[in-house]
Structure 1
Amino acid sequence: MKKITALFFFFIHFSAFAAIDALNFASPQQENDYHALTQELRCPQCQNNNIADSNATIAVDMRAKVFELLQEGKQKQEIVDYMIARYGHFVTYNPPLTAATLALWVVPALLVLFGVVMIFRRKPHQAQTSQSAVNFEQESLSEAQRQRLNALLKEKE
């Protein structure tokens, strides 16, 4: 039983190290750039994780590409531009202000404003319509019917 337990912990111990990337950097600056870039770039599959935290296949490929581009001597902005060209602005957490992103913020606000305006415009109109309907009905009634209507309205109040 002790051998099985020891064997179990042995495999668990080594499986914990399986997900760690063993990369050799040319300089500490290059390593810092790598870690900064992997924290800044978003995983297209996970959507809310950066590529450093994601174990999705595409995130692993993106980390490898970031390392490769750093080894080629590319600057951080060049690597970000490459990733944007390949995956779109979604891979950055701060997309630029474009017509599409502006529309995503402005259109809902305009719809809410339109709804509020419509609510306030309808209320006085409905009250006026109901009052004019009562006046119209009272004009078409005989004197006896008007008296009965007024008595019923007084009872209701």
Structure 2
Amino acid sequence: MLRYCFAVLLLCISSVSYSAIDTYEFSDEANRARFQVLAAELRCPKCQNQNIADSNSPIAEDLRFELHRMLETGADDDQIVDFMVTRYGEFVLYRPRMSAQTYLLWYGPAALLILGIVVVLVVSGKRKSGNKKDSATGLSEQEKQRLDHLLKQDQDK
């Protein structure tokens, strides 16, 4: 029985080694290094948060192939990134470029932070400048006088 379990285990392990692995031949080491950098910087259009180097989706395989082809034909990094952005949009970049379409993305968080600070300052300023309240009762002088007046009316009845 142990021999059969061991045989099945060996078959399972050996089938993993037959899985497809992308292997690309590069003309020089500089292209290999550029391939690795660009593949890590470009996001897979199908996968939400994986770059094309880590993704196993068919589109990522196609993008890796296209990246290899463009590197070997002599395209520079900007041309490759422009091609990918033209084809798939700014989504393929982990760090989108500064443009009219991405101003909100770049400046939105800072604007919201500043707006939040302004709101907090305005609200706290109104509380401080509002009626001065007694720390023991939490009532202002005007509210104390009104309460005393109402209590006197109630006692008179």
Gaps of 5+ in 1: 149-157
Aligned amino acid, residue 59 of structure 2: I
1:138 is displaced (CA, Å) by: 6.0
Are 1:131 and 2:140 an aligned pair?
yes
Counterparts in 2 of 1:65 and 1:121: CA distance versus 1, 3 Å: same
Change (3 A) 1:23 1:110: same
Q: CA deviation at 1:24?
A: 2.4
Match of 2:152 among 145, 149, 156: 145
Query: Aligned pair 1:38/2:45, yes or no?
Result: no
Counterpart-to-counterpart distance in 2, 1:138 and 1:7: 87
Amino acid of the structure 2 residue aligned with 1:56: S
Any residues of structure 2 matched to 1:1-157 within 5 Å, and which?
2=3, 5-6=6-7, 8-98=9-99, 99-124=103-128, 127-128=131-132, 130-131=139-140, 133-134=142-143, 137=146, 141=149, 145=152
User: Which structure: greater helix fraction?
Assistant: 1
Q: Aligned-pair distance for 1:117?
A: 2.0
Equivalent residue for 1:153?
A: none
Long gaps (5+) in structure 2: 134-138
Stretch moving more, 123-132 or 92-101 = 123-132
Structure 2: distance between partners of 1:10 and 1:24: 30
**Distance (Å, rounded) in 1 between the aligned partners of 2:142 and 2:86:** 65
Cα drift, residue 134 of structure 1: 1.7
CA shift in 2, pair 1:138/1:12, >3 Å: closer
Query: 1:120: Cα distance to partner?
Result: 0.4
* Aligned AA (1:83): M
What is the letter of the counterpart of residue 121 of structure 1?
A: G
**Deviation per residue, 1:113-132 (Å, 9 max, x gap):** 13312330342355448525
How far the C-alpha of 1:109 sits from its partner, in A, is 0.8
Residue identity (%): 28
Task: State which drifts further: 8-17 or 31-40.
Answer: 8-17
TM-score normalised over the length of structure 1: 0.70
